[in-house]
C-alpha cells in the first residue's frame, strides 16, 4: 500500500468499503466519508479540536437515557432533523406539514374517548382543541388517530418533572364525520434541555434554547401517510426563532380566549379558557 496523504486518504477509505453488501449503505457511507473528510480539510481541523469533537460526541452519547435523546436534540438544533423531514415530505402536496418529533415522545400513550381532558391535574390554561382529519380533497377520514403530547402551561413535560406516569398525553380517534375534540392546556414556550453538552454548544453559539409554544401530534389513518407535526400557539414568543427550526406558518393556530362559562364540551368553566381549531389533511399512501 502506497503511503496515503491528506488527499489520497479519502478515495482509499471509499475503496475499502466497496464490499459493502447493501448498495444503499455504501451510497450513504461514501457520501458521509467524503463530506467528513472535506470538512476536516476545509477548516484544517487540529488534533486538539478533533479531540474536543470526540469528547463532545462521547458526552452526547452518555447523556442519552430512555427518557432523553441528546443526539436527536443535537440533530434538531443543527437543523438536520427538520431538513430530513422536509425533504421526505415534499411530494405530499396538500397534506398538513410535518415538523420535528422532538426528544419527548413517549410511545404507548393510552387511547382516550373523544372529549377527554388529557391534562387532568396538569398546570396551565384550559384549552379545547377541535377540528377534523381530512384527505387532501377535503373528505373526512373516520377513525384517524391523533397521538398527542405536550408540556404543561409552564413548558415542562412529564418526563422532565420526573413523572413515572404519562401526563398531557393520549390518543384520540376521529368519529364517523372525521371530527376530533379533546381538552388539554395552552402550551407555553420552553427551553430545550440545556444542562447537557448540547446546551453548552448553544451557549457557546450565543443562541437562546427556546421553542415557541406548541402541542405535538402524530396523525395517522390506515391507507394514509402518517404525519408528525405540531400546532403552534399564535403570538407565542420565539415563533420567529425556534431553537430547532421546526416552526411552519401553516401550523400556527389562533388560541381564542373565552371568559368563564360554558365550554364547547358543555361543561361549565369557572375560569377563562381557550379554543383552538385545526383541520389536519392527510395524503394517500402508495
Whose grid coordinates read 448553544?
202
The one among 239, 275, 276, 282 contacting a second copy by CB under 8 A = 239
Residue 235 is a binding residue for a second copy (CB under 8 A)? no
Among the listed residues 261, 275, 254, 250, the one whose alpha carbon sits nearest the alpha carbon of residue 95:
250
Binding mask 42-71 for a second copy (x = CB under 8 A): xxxxxx-xx---x--xxxxxx-x----x-x
For a second copy, the closer CB: 19 or 270 = 19
Residue 38 is a binding residue for a second copy (CB under 8 A)? yes
For a second copy, the closer CB: 165 or 240 = 240
CA dihedral 162, 196, 82, 164 (to 10 degrees): -10
Alpha helices in the chain (DSSP H): 8-16, 23-42, 47-63, 70-77, 80-88, 197-204
Residue 241 is a binding residue for a second copy (CB under 8 A)? yes
Q: How far is the CB of 201 from a second copy (least distance, A)?
A: 8
Binding mask 70-109 for a second copy (x = CB under 8 A): -xx--x--xxxxxxxxxxx-x-------------------
For a second copy, the closer CB: 235 or 250 = 250
Residue 221 is a binding residue for a second copy (CB under 8 A)? no
Q: How far is the CB of 11 from a second copy (least distance, A)?
A: 10
- Pair 45, 181: CB distance under 8 Å: no
The DSSP result for 117-164, as a single string, is BTTTT--S-EEEEEEEEEETTS-B-TT-EEEEE---TTS--TTTTT-S
Amino acid at each position: 500500500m502506497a503511503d496515503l496523504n491528506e488527499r489520497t486518504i479519502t478515495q482509499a477509505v471509499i475503496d475499502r468499503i466497496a464490499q459493502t453488501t447493501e448498495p444503499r449503505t455504501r451510497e450513504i457511507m461514501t457520501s458521509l466519508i467524503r463530506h467528513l473528510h472535506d470538512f476536516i480539510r476545509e477548516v484544517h481541523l487540529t488534533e486538539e479540536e478533533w479531540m474536543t469533537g470526540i469528547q463532545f460526541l462521547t458526552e452526547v452519547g452518555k447523556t442519552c437515557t430512555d427518557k432523553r435523546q441528546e443526539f436527536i436534540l443535537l440533530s434538531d438544533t443543527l437543523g438536520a432533523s427538520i431538513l430530513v423531514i422536509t425533504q421526505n415530505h415534499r411530494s405530499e402536496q396538500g397534506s398538513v406539514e410535518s415538523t420535528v418529533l422532538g426528544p419527548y415522545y413517549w410511545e404507548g400513550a393510552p387511547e382516550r374517548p373523544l372529549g377527554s381532558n388529557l391534562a387532568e391535574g396538569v398546570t396551565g390554561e384550559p384549552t379545547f382543541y377541535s377540528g377534523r382529519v381530512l384527505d387532501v380533497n377535503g373528505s373526512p377520514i373516520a377513525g384517524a388517530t391523533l397521538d398527542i403530547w405536550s408540556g404543561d402551561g409552564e413548558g415542562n413535560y412529564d418526563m422532565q418533572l420526573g413523572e413515572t406516569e404519562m401526563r398531557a398525553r393520549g390518543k384520540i380517534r376521529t368519529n364517523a364525520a372525521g371530527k376530533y375534540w379533546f381538552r388539554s392546556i395552552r402550551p407555553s414556550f420552553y427551553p430545550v434541555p440545556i444542562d447537557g453538552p448540547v446546551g453548552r454548544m448553544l451557549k457557546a453559539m450565543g443562541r437562546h434554547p427556546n421553542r415557541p409554544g406548541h402541542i405535538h401530534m402524530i396523525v395517522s389513518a390506515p391507507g394514509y401517510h402518517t404525519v408528525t407535526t405540531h400546532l403552534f400557539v399564535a403570538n407565542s414568543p420565539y415563533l420567529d426563532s425556534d431553537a430547532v427550526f421546526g416552526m411552519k406558518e401553516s401550523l400556527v393556530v389562533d388560541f381564542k380566549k373565552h371568559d368563564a362559562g360554558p365550554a364547547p364540551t358543555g361543561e361549565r368553566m369557572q375560569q377563562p379558557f381557550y379554543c383552538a381549531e385545526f383541520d389536519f389533511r392527510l395524503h394517500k399512501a402508495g
